[in-house]
Chains A and B, each alone.
Chain A
C-alpha cells in the first residue's frame, strides 16, 4: 500500500525565517515518484518538484531545496528566507511508476507573517 504522511498540520514563521516541511512516505515499490505541490488560497495545485526513486540527489531551486532520503523514506522541503507569498498549503505526493494516481499527504499549512 502507498501512504504519505505530513505530520505538521500548520506552521507559522516570521518572514525571512527558514522553514522545513516534513514528508514521510510508505511504498513497497522500487520505482516510484515523489512530488511537492503548493496550494494557494485560490485552490489550484502548483507543481514544485518531481523526484524519482533512483535519484537521491538533493535539489535546490532558488529559495527552495529538497532533501530525499530513501533510508528514512523522507522527502523534506525547505524554504530559505521565507516570504509572505510563500503562505499556502503544501502537499507531498507519491506516485507509482505508471502515474495512474497520486497519493497525497494531508498537507501542511504554512503561515508566513510579515
Chain B
C-alpha cells in the first residue's frame, strides 16, 4: 500500500442519478477525510472520520450526500439525485492520529464527477 486510492477516477452521470465513490486510505491511517474541489478553486472540506466514527460534517454536505466508513478502513461517498452543481473533483485524504501528533496527511488522486 503506497498511497490513498480512489475509484473510479472519472464518472459521468445523468442528472438525477445516484453515484458512489470509494476511497481506500493508507492502511495504518485511522483518519479519513473527504474534500470537494471545483474548477479553479482550492479543495473544500466535506467530512472526516476517526476510525468508523464520522466526527465532523461541513454545511456543504447536503442531505443528498452521505459518507460511510463501516469498518474503519475504506470509505464511500454517495450522492443521491445528482445535480449539475455537483460536478467537481472529489478528493479523499487520510492521516494517522497518535493522540500526540497527526502524521502523513496524504491525498488521493481524486474522482472527477461530471453531471450532464
A residues neighboring B (CB under 8 Å): 4, 35, 37, 42-45, 47, 50, 91, 93, 98-107
User: Which residues does chain A contribute within 8 Å of B45, judged by CB atoms?
Assistant: 101-103
User: Which residues does chain B contribute within 8 Å of A35, judged by CB atoms?
Assistant: 105
User: Which residues does chain B contribute within 8 Å of A101, judged by CB atoms?
Assistant: 33, 45, 48, 56, 58
Task: Tell me whether A100 and B56 are in contact (CB under 8 A).
Answer: yes
Partner pick for A106 among B35, B42, B106, CB 8 A cutoff: B42
Task: Tell me whether B43 and A99 are in contact (CB under 8 A).
Answer: no
Task: Tell me whether B108 and A44 are in contact (CB under 8 A).
Answer: yes
Q: Which of B41, B43, B102, B106 has the most CB of A within 10 A?
A: B43
Minimum CB–CB distance for B59 against chain A, Å: 12
Of all A-B residue pairs in the complex, the 4 with the closest CB atoms, nearest first, are A104-B42, A45-B107, A101-B45, A99-B102
Q: Which of A4, A43, A47, A103 has the most CB of B within 10 A?
A: A43
